[in-house]
Chains A and B, each alone.
Chain A
């Protein structure tokens, strides 16, 4: 069997981050090749290079033993490389047929197209209702349209970016049947995923990436979910020195049997979520992005206060129906993942952004009139105590760097002395200095008896600061474990959806 794709020392750097560092591996013709890695491992960058969306800084790619020289996706398609994106690029208001016609680069007669479609539908078990508007289709059917559109161009190499992330289990089975048919025809599939089971079940080869580098590239024989998990996450060094002495025995916050269905392919339904957080405890929720974290976060903050079933109990009060303002009145503070436009408004000044989250002890408002003096005091306290680097409190939030704005937002919440802090990805996309000071301030806050829930994809972070962790996968939260007792392998298996731990 010959190689369809040879990737030789491809490097791609972005400002402040090396996305692909000397990446080399080969893909054998007529195989399903998995590309496995955490978020931010560099999978997407590599795939974008292969599909002509990005140019590598250095390195070369051989396709069928010829140098691959492409500058756009349409170049890639002409050469026989096709891609199915995680998020569909279909015109919702048009029909299936119209979308298929729009996707074709070459000129083709209508009857020829009809025959071709019939042929493809039959061969790969991809039934389609050509006259149905896209908007009426389920996620699986939409994906089918994308695949058929791709197959019309007769590609040799198909790249699929996390294709099962929006599918139901039945749809996943159907997709796997289609993959089998594709391989039988002699085509090659590059399959990007973080789900270990899928790699074991349907792939022939696997390349594991971590921090932009290739860790291993090998045949799937002799690999187990455990060995793949360890390779994906790496050996985490450093002794866990979490201090448990300030964690009390009393439960401060509890989520009981929470379930919520969204009926939306881009939302993950939450299923029977339970968690308990004690006074002074930092509770971590690990997981790969898109497994229900943002849905859970919205429910915990009260931005979504319409859950199907379940209870949220804080300080012996049922708060599941409370909006964010009412929860703040109970001294619960939140820091959502997205700074610009969610926890802060970029167009407003820092002083104005202080007003977004008001607590009963703030005294920012008297009968609807803003007391600017109290806000000024608070904003200056935040800036000085949390080392926010800014020319002043009257600059717009958008002019601060990501790390400084995050310090500002977290400082704003911590200085209100919350009894519970719920924070999502506290150090996402910020520099090491800010990262350190934010983690330190969270640990100090917990020492004073505040309960903290941290949702994060960053395992180092969770191992460094949390007392307990659990893992969210596909809308289900695992049991929680004391951080000092859980192994990296176990977390990796849970994150990959492996149930028997």
Chain B
């Protein structure tokens, strides 16, 4: 009996060109698969794709909304890049975002009747601290008890969300809110300034771009960025070089937590203006896709955040105009990640069919 079993073997030299084009291929395959899904659901795929990807950004308001959605995604994604470069799988950015919103938003609620220039900067700083503290819990557990950061950071997401839940129905509930699970609105000076009159795109975008630029500098020009990279590729080489790997783990988690915290704060003090239960449509999880789609590179992350933000907008439009469930947006995000990982595998490995006896 002869049969052919596929087996996966390493390619000697992965193609550099293909490596760069993986995200493009992944997006194209996603669109292709998406059109098949739309056809199977009985929609004209061209029209559906147009509704999903073109019409949401065909006017100034749409473009502004794209940036509103891309801002938290890009900011969290650049923070995650610090962790992923160091080969630490922090998937708890959603929790760190929530904690940033609680800490920074807490300041906003405490000073709800104060209008002064220092309020917003203070909220941003406290929000960053909140996210960083939440991020450093899995780092501490990993270093002290060798726990798996994937599990602990994920579990902390639900703890953070439940804390927020408790606060908005309990101690921080708006006294004039007819028992709705929400807090008081922040004062005017606690809100992110809008960049254009009548559009929702806000100052958080500027913060994000600044932090991405700083991260580009850190990754490519500083010893710290180099240490993260070495320790990610080979912990033994990092030990040989004498880098303190525990410090690197703490810093990567703290920076990521701070970025997610600022993202959370700029959501609540930007478009939302108060605290309630659903402050984030899973930005913290979706940002993981953004980071990988952007190849951990600052510029790539900016582009990837726009692509993924579009899936949020497209899903809203599709629901509005075609009565397609909004969850289709998550299907597209999942497809992108699936094709990205698949293409990555095929760039680095090849499948051979071996004859076995």
Using CB atoms and an 8 Å cutoff, list the residues of chain A in contact with chain B.
Answer: 71, 301-303, 323-328, 334, 336, 338, 341-348, 352, 355-358, 365, 368-370, 399
A399 to B237, CA, bound (A): 18
Q: Which residues from A are CB-within-8-Å of B244?
A: 323
- Residue B221, interface by CB 8 Å: yes
Known: A302-B242, A324-B242, A326-B242. A342 touches B223 (CB 8 A): no
Give chain B's interface residues, CB within 8 Å of chain A.
13, 221-224, 226, 229-230, 233-234, 236-237, 239-244, 357
- CB-CB under 8 A from A370, the residues of chain B are 221-223, 226
Q: Are A368 and B222 in contact (CB under 8 A)?
A: yes
Bound: A341/B244 CA distance, A = 17
Asked if B237 contacts A356 (CB within 8 A), the reply is yes
5 contacts between A and B (CB under 8 A): A324-B239, A345-B237, A346-B233, A355-B241, A356-B240
Query: Across the interface, which residues of A come within 8 angstroms of B240, CB to CB?
Result: 301, 303, 324, 334, 336, 342-343, 356-357
Q: How far, in Å, is B18 (CB) from chain A's closest CB? A: 16
With both chains docked as a complex, state the minimum distance between the C-beta of B73 and any C-beta of chain A, in angstroms. Answer: 27
> Once bound together, how far apart are the Cα atoms of A122 and B226, in whole Å?
60
* Structural contact, A342 and B237, CB atoms closer than 8 A: yes
Asked if A341 and B226 make an inter-chain contact with CB atoms under 8 angstroms apart, the answer reads no
How close is A347's CB to chain B, nearest CB, in angstroms?
5
Also in contact, A341 and B234, with CB within 8 A (given A368-B222, A370-B221): yes
Q: A303 with B237: in contact, given A369-B222, A370-B223 (CB under 8 Å)?
A: no
* Shortest distance between the CB of A93 and any CB in chain B (Å): 16
Cross-interface CB contact of B223 among A324, A336, A346, A369, cutoff 8 Å: A369
Chain B residues whose C-beta falls within 8 Å of the C-beta of A323 in the assembled complex = 242, 244
Inter-chain CA distance A262–B77, complex, in Å, is: 41
Name which residue of chain B comes closest to A328, CB basis: B242
Q: Pick the contact of A325 from B222, B224, B226, B241 — CB < 8 Å?
A: B241
Q: Please give me the residue from chain B that is nearest to A355 by CB atom.
A: B226
Number of A-B contacts (CB under 8 A): 66
Residues A343 and B223 in contact, CB atoms below 8 Å apart: no
Query: Which of B13, B233, B234, B241 has the largest count of A CB atoms less than 10 A from its CB?
Result: B241
Q: Is the CB of B237 within 8 A of A341?
A: yes
Q: How far is the CB of B245 from chain A (nearest CB, A)?
A: 11
Interface of B (DSSP majority class): helix
CA of A356 to CA of B236 in the docked complex: distance in angstroms? 11
* Residues on the A chain within 8 Å of B222, using CB: 368-370
Of the residues B13, B221, B224, B230, contact of A356 by C-beta under 8 Å: B230
Q: Which residues from chain A contact B224 at a C-beta distance below 8 Å?
A: 368
CB of B229 within 8 A of CB of A342, answer no
List, in ascending order, chain B residues with CB within 8 A of A334's CB: 240
B residues in contact with A365, CB < 8 Å: 223
A323 to B233, CA, bound (A): 20
Task: Name the residue of chain A whose CB is nearest to the CB of B225.
Answer: A370
CA distance A346 to B233 in the complex (A): 9
CB of B93, distance to nearest CB on chain A (Å): 25
Given contacts A324-B239, A324-B242, A346-B234, 12 further A-B contacts (CB under 8 A): A301-B240, A303-B239, A324-B241, A326-B242, A328-B242, A334-B240, A341-B234, A345-B233, A345-B234, A355-B226, A365-B223, A369-B222
Q: How far is the CB of A118 from chain B (nearest CB, A)?
A: 37
Q: How far is the CA of A429 from the CA of B230 in the complex (A)?
A: 25
CA distance A399 to B223 in the complex (A): 24
Complex Cα–Cα for A341 and B230 (A) = 10
Contact B233 A347 (CB under 8 A): yes
Alpha-carbon distance A83/B241, docked complex (angstroms):
40
Most chain-B Cβ atoms within 10 A of its Cβ — which of A341, A342, A347, A356? A356
Residues of chain A with a CB closer than 8 A to B229's CB: 348, 352
| B241 with A357: CB separation less than 8 A | yes
- Residues in chain A near residue B236, CB distance under 8 A: 338, 341-342
Q: How far, in whole Å, are A327 and B239 apart by their CA atoms in the complex?
A: 13
Complex Cα–Cα for A326 and B244 (A): 12
| Chain B residues in 8 Å Cβ range of A352 | 226, 229
Pick the most buried of A345, A369, A399: most chain B CB atoms within 10 A of its CB: A345
A437→B153 CA distance, assembly (Å): 51
Expressed in whole angstroms, the minimum distance between the Cβ of B353 and any Cβ of chain A is 19
CB distance from A379 to the nearest CB of B (A): 14
A324 CB to nearest chain B CB (Å): 4
Using CB atoms, name the residue of chain B closest to A336: B240
Question: Which of chain B's residues have a CB closer than 8 A to the CB of A399?
Answer: 13
- CB-based nearest B residue for A326: B242
What residue of chain A has the Cβ atom nearest to residue B226's Cβ?
A355
Q: Which residues of A contact B221 (CB under 8 A)?
A: 369-370
A152 to B230, alpha carbons, bound, how many Å? 48
Contacts of A325 in B (CB 8 A): 241-243
Residue in B closest to A366 when the chains form the complex, CB atoms: B223
Chain A residues whose C-beta falls within 8 Å of the C-beta of B243 in the assembled complex:
325
Q: A356: shortest Cβ distance to chain B, in Å?
A: 4
A326 proximity list for chain B (CB < 8 A): 242
Give complex CA distance A324, B239 in Å: 8
Q: When the two chains form their complex, are residues A348 and B233 in contact, meaning their CB atoms are under 8 A apart?
A: yes
**B223 and A345 contact, CB distance less than 8 A:** no
CA distance A254 to B222 in the complex (A): 36
